[in-house]
Structure 1
Amino acid sequence: MLVASLLPILFTAISVQAQPVERGIFDSVGVLDDVLLFDAPAFPDPANPANTLVGLQAFTSLRQIDLGVLTAAAQAALKAIGLDVGDKISTLEERLRLFGAVGLPGKNVKVDVGGCNKQAQLPGTSGLPDLGMALQNVSVGACGSGKELIAKVALSRLDSRKFTASVFSSPNSGFGVISDIDDTVKISNVLDKLALAKSTLLDDPVPVAGMPELYASLSKSLNDPQFIYVSGSPFQLYPFLNNFIDSAYSASKGPIYLQNLTLIDIEGLLDFANSDGVQEYKVSMIDRIHGMYPNKKFLAVGDSTQKDPETYAEAFKKFGGEFMACSWIRRVEGADNSDARFAAAFEGVPANKFRIFTDEDIPSLKNIDVAGGEC
């Protein structure tokens, strides 16, 4: 929501600052390019269980040099809503870095995954509206044991940079956890524009009290489940959110799915603030998760600020309780926490398949035997 309000100013600044250069189709990543390689899930190939598939995603952009214009525009936009950046300019610049990136089409991204015997190659990065993005399930062959593998973009011998990400391998069985981020595991204050701006662009991220301990407990009680974080935030915030999950939730790390919104598609970015759009996006990501792990059972955790109750209920009605085994919704002060809202959202979902919890309830959630069928 905050990002959408800044977009007209930021886009004007970026349009002046950088323009895409002409590139040949299917070029390799070169020294003038940057690559964001996202953490990814890995799962058995349905056609050959000995083979591993990885849901790889990469964003390739023109290498950035000067972000001064972008940062100045952001400072002005924040000042207009009453927020003084103060001594947080470097933090602001780092959080906004990818909003100034110019995506490159037709770039081939080759990836080596440690412990796997086959190099993966993503298709050429896309053009408009998903400029510079590539996403596909790719084969990496047979892989050694280990849940967290390291993926690395293959570059020319003249390029000493390293673009890496984690690959989280999990079988098509057992449990997983689908989790929202903002106001579910991280305090974001999405209902307060000024507080949201501060927590997203300037402050050090703060976890919701008790949630890191709860997720660490779930990682044990659910026997090393596949954690997957699904958020309506734009992918440009990925480095910030990924660092937060890796540090605050080190016992429950996993891939993060964010909306593919670019500065080229201004209308799409403005729609980011629309809760209905976020629900549609999250349901599509749960569809994707089901495609990878149709035989897993998932605990879904969200909050009441936007549409998590409606999203998880929709997924339950689509895939049933064997897949969407349980949904937990955190009550956030100031949101619509009425009984009528939750009754409407979970209409048709059995009462023993969802739980609405408060912050005071968080410590006791670890005592619920989700693996045994409780919710």
Structure 2
Amino acid sequence: MKRLVSSALSRATKYLGNRNPFPQPMDPNEHTVWLQDNTAYRPKGGDGSTWEAEFVAAFFVKDPNRRALTKMVASIADQLDLAQGDESEETIAKRLEPWTTEILPGHTVRINIGGTHDAKLGPGDRSGVSKNVIPMEADKAEDGDTVDSHAVGVDTHPMTTTYVEAKGWAVISDIDDTIKITGTGDIGAVMRSTFVDEPTPVDGMPAFYAHMHKTLDKAPVWYLSASPYNLYPFLHAFRNAHYPPGPLLLWNASWMDVSAFVLALTKEPERYKCDKMRELHRNFPDRRFVCIGDSTQRDPEAYAQTCREFPGWIRAIYIRRVPGGSDGSKTAPERFEKAFEGIDRGLWHVFDEPAELYERLDALVAGDPSGTRDGTGEAPPPSQPEQKSSCVLL
């Protein structure tokens, strides 16, 4: 009876979000929560000695809908031509659970931040997601430092907060086919790499990201992807295994609908990525950003649009040329020339192997905006004073 009353109350108040007058604490026996990695920043108008961060939590009923899960597993196994009872079905079921788990509006959870103090997150909105801005007790924190927080009394993965000062280097990185092999453009390849195969990093990218993280003085990394939040645990574990820490900015667009996941990858949400980059610009307008993406979707166009919108904010754009495709139009030189029309040619580079990027990045940090040899075999010129604007608008 208690659960029925709680569910009815949640449904009645789910549209109120943080204004919900009847929030309910989550029950660890019946509910679960995902805590999402974030960044701490200096609040605007502050005295420069304090930090705050937006903490995002997603609440769910603990057990998936088993009937729906069984049907979805069978459907995907059939699409991938797997034999009935194939051992891969267990992996498929585990990764599909977020698509068959009911979201939980109107609930709260207590977290412990870095072992120093507790705070309450929630209540979640109608999507079961809460966002709370919380002061951080970290007077001695430095740029690039991290701190872990965990839900009190709840068995779930911790979240990592990265402290980010107003100035310095920063990175925006795509995920699918930029740092992880997904097979975007081939629905069968996407389904297999997402629900069956062990996630595989793009060859050479973990080493380059480690080099970049060191070269850019532990620069924060935001992983910006069109993949839906259903994949957060899957992608979080992949990132932890291969890449520097950083928030996963995923698309909150497809709960309990796998078809919407495929749609997200085929609709090429350029607007979504540009909106997220505008949010980053609002919080960190004085950071110098390196953007990394690939040719399978609209990363070149999204990065170029943002570059034009905020001249000087983006200092380098690296696009991985992914082989394949039906007509070769996505990897044609004309596509990139059109996407980056009006932008300094020294700012963007299309690469086939990550090894091409080391010299460019090192030269960028040394002060050379083009970061490359000019094709004559001559080394880049000596370090120059940092340019105030790297985007050239026509």
**Residues 179-236 of structure 1, C-alpha deviation per residue, up to 9 Å, x if partnerless?**
0011000111112221211111111111111111111111111111001101100000
3-state SS, counterpart of residue 22 of structure 1:
helix
Q: TM-score, normalised by structure 1?
A: 0.84
User: Is the counterpart of residue 112 in structure 1 residue 102 in structure 2?
Assistant: no
Q: What's the counterpart of residue 364 of structure 1?
A: 356
2:290 to 299, 312, 318: 299
Q: What's the counterpart of residue 32 of structure 2?
A: 34
Q: Which structure exhibits the higher relative contact order, with contacts defined as CA atoms closer than 8 Å and separated by 6 or more residues?
A: 1
Q: TM-score, normalised by structure 2?
A: 0.80
| Overall identity of the aligned pairs, in % | 27
**Residue 40 of structure 1: how far off its partner (Å):** 1.1
**Residue 272 of structure 1: how far off its partner (Å):** 1.8
**Distance change in 2, residues 1:265/1:139 (3 Å):** farther
CA contact 1:302–1:329 (8 Å) conserved in 2: yes
**Alignment of structure 1 residues 276-355 onto 2, 5 Å:** 276=268, 278-321=269-312, 323-335=313-325, 336-355=330-349
Aligned letter for 2:9? R
> C-alpha distance in 2, partners of 1:83/1:290?
46
Q: What's the counterpart of residue 64 of structure 1?
A: 63
3-state SS, counterpart of residue 334 of structure 1:
coil
CA contact 2:77–2:89 (8 Å) conserved in 1: no
CA contact 1:300–1:327 (8 Å) conserved in 2: yes
User: Is the counterpart of residue 140 in structure 1 residue 136 in structure 2?
Assistant: yes
> C-alpha distance in 2, partners of 1:241/1:26?
30
Q: How many residues are matched?
A: 343
3-state SS, counterpart of residue 45 of structure 1:
coil
Aligned letter for 1:188? T
**Distance change in 2, residues 1:163/1:273 (3 Å):** closer
Q: What's the counterpart of residue 196 of structure 1?
A: 190
**Residue 73 of structure 1: how far off its partner (Å):** 2.3
Q: What's the counterpart of residue 10 of structure 1?
A: none
**Alignment of structure 1 residues 181-330 onto 2, 5 Å:** 181-249=175-243, 252-263=244-255, 271-276=263-268, 278-321=269-312, 323-330=313-320
Q: What's the counterpart of residue 385 of structure 2?
A: none
More off after superposition, 181-190 vs 140-149: 140-149
3-state SS, counterpart of residue 367 of structure 1:
helix
5+ residue gaps, structure 2, are 1-5, 11-21, 372-394
Larger gyration radius, structure 1 or structure 2:
2
> C-alpha distance in 1, partners of 2:297/2:77?
23
CA contact 1:120–1:140 (8 Å) conserved in 2: no
Q: What's the counterpart of residue 41 of structure 2?
A: 43
User: Is the counterpart of residue 100 in structure 1 residue 94 in structure 2?
Assistant: no
CA contact 2:183–2:193 (8 Å) conserved in 1: yes
**Residue 81 of structure 1: how far off its partner (Å):** 4.9
**Residue 64 of structure 1: how far off its partner (Å):** 1.0
> C-alpha distance in 2, partners of 1:310/1:265?
28
CA contact 1:42–1:170 (8 Å) conserved in 2: yes
5+ residue gaps, structure 1, are 1-19
**Residues 221-260 of structure 1, C-alpha deviation per residue, up to 9 Å, x if partnerless?**
11110011011000000111111111112xx221111001
